[in-house]
Amino acid sequence: MNKDWELSQEAFDALLDWLDSDREQAALKYEKIRRSLIKIFTGRGCVEPEDLADETINRVTSKLKEIEKEFSGDRIRYFFGVANKVHLEHLRRKLPQPTPPPTNDPDRIELEFNCLERCIERLSKEHRDLLLRYHGAEGPAETEHRRALAEELGIAPNALRIRVYRIRMGLKECVEKCIERSHG
Amino acid sequence: MNLTADKQEIKSYLLGILDGDRKTQLEERILSAPETYEELLLVEEELIDSYVAGGLSTLERQQFETHFLITAERQKNLRFGQLLKRYVNSHLFPVAVPHVEKGAPAKKSFNLSMLPDAGRPVMVFGIAGVVLLGVALLCWLGYRRPPSRLAQQRVEPVVVVTLAPAAAPRVNVPPKGYDLKLELELANPNFRNYKSELFRENKSVQTRGELRLESKGEQYVVPLTITGEMLSPGDYEVKLCGVSESGANEFIEKYSFRVIE
């Protein structure tokens, strides 16, 4: 790919059209592909997975006219083949250094913990109790504890996992915003 | 989709110990099957929880630290997992123990809602019954205990000093045969276990682990007993760390005191 090639609005629109004729569905597919590629590059030990995911998408977009003529299979899977090439090239280049772990600054930890407390207080009582009870057992007792909790709520254990995950993601977002606000 | 097999496979993938065709197939599914992608997100969080709880094997732990934690995003997620664990530990299972006089049996505050199965009436009443029976048995044993046994209980010779982080009180060398019991005040009782290191004139002289939090009125303290014979006039400092479930130490406070003749 020409390294100076940049994703124009026109090229991006063409990519969306190729992914799905419905623009809304196409945008969802684009987002999903990008998120999945980031996970795949992270899983392969890449320190800058977002850059590699964008490079993969750009490369597919830049060759879209040729691909449209020659390729007829699963469009999402096409990205996988390109991602493999991008990854191989990445391995040949100098690898970026992994991000050093954040330092354990006691003031920062306290700030984050205070944010967490505030965000948990903002949860509904139902969600707060569920979060606490779900995480209230660990080790060998954990599975049985969560199975019993799911039974009590009248849902499947996996549905409970997903429910708690969503509460947790909302909480994480709230904490991140709170920390950002605290840093001014 | 076999959930358990998938979960295990994804866990291995995240730890960088899945290879060959299985890895390729899984990556293809991450891209094309929404349920696999969602499962990946769930397993990521569960892996962080297992690490924080100390539930990973040595190899898994090593892989987690060298492979999984490579991105800033995952490090941030780990931090969140640690904070959440700290919150859950301090709210679901409060370790506060009411202050008790020497010689009296320790009493733990107990609330049925703390039980993992609270809300299941049969279980709750069953447990409540067992607790009541236990209390009745203890009372009966106490009533039957001969007076000579009670007389054998001795009051331990200790000098008790409460230390706040900002203060630096003067403490007399304890009388011969007496120990010094420091009660280290804590603003946020967020750990179950604590570890201390005692310094004399900036030189480490004693390390203690497995220290437990106690409540003293409305204040939380971590008691630390120092053998009287160890103490001679000079400046002392205690560094207190909270010990997380994974065994990691987190610095909490520094306390100072001066021992005088």
The model's pLDDT over A64-89, given as tens digits with 9 standing for 90+, comes to 988 888 888 888 889 999 999 999 99
Please give, rounded to a whole number of angstroms, the shortest distance from the CA of A60 to a CA of chain B: 15
Mean of pLDDT values over B25-30? 94
For the cut 60, the answer to whether the pLDDT of residue B139 exceeds it is no
pLDDT at residue B29 in the model? 94
Q: What is the pLDDT of residues A114-155, one digit of tens each?
A: 999 999 999 999 999 999 999 988 777 888 999 999 999 999
Contact B17, B63 (CB under 8 A): yes
> Which of B27, B85, B245 is the closest to A80 by Cβ?
B27
Mean pLDDT of the residues in chain B: 75
Distances (CA, A) of B147 to B102, B103, B112, B152, B237: 18, 14, 35, 9, 43
For the cut 60, the answer to whether the pLDDT of residue B104 exceeds it is no
Instruction: Find residue A144's DSSP bridge partners.
Output: none
Query: Residue B166 CA to chain centroid, in angstroms?
Result: 24
For the cut 70, the answer to whether the pLDDT of residue B243 exceeds it is yes
The verdict on B77 touching A (C-beta cutoff 8 Å) is: yes
Residues in chain A with CB shorter than 8 Å from the CB of B42 are: 161-162, 165
pLDDT at residue B255 in the model? 87
pLDDT at residue B217 in the model? 64
Would you place residue B203 in the very low, low, confident or very high pLDDT band (cuts 50, 70, 90)? confident
Which of A93-107, B28-42, B81-95, B116-130 has the least mean pLDDT?
B116-130
Mean of pLDDT values over B168-176? 78
Note whether A135 contacts B75, CB cutoff 8 Å: no
Q: What is the pLDDT of residues A3-37, one digit of tens each?
A: 556 778 888 999 999 999 999 999 999 999 999 99
d(CA B174, CA B232): 9
Which of A63-67, B129-133, B217-221 has the least mean pLDDT?
B129-133
Query: Residue A179 CA to chain centroid, in angstroms?
Result: 20
pLDDT at residue B186 in the model? 82
Would you place residue B167 in the very low, low, confident or very high pLDDT band (cuts 50, 70, 90)? confident
Residues in chain B with CB shorter than 8 Å from the CB of A141 are: 116
Whole-angstrom Cα Rg for chain A: 22
> Which of B27, B53, B93 is the closest to A40 by Cβ?
B27
Mean pLDDT of the residues in chain A: 89
- A112: burial class by Cβ within 10 Å (0-12, 13-18, 19+)? buried
pLDDT at residue B192 in the model? 78
The verdict on B69 touching A (C-beta cutoff 8 Å) is: yes
Question: CB count, 10 Å around CB of B54?
Answer: 14
Mean of pLDDT values over B103-110? 35
Mean of pLDDT values over B227-247? 85
Q: At what angle do helices A75-92 and A49-62 cross, to 10 degrees?
A: 120
**Cα B88-B91-B95 angle, rounded to 5 deg:** 110
In chain B, % of residues over pLDDT 90? 28
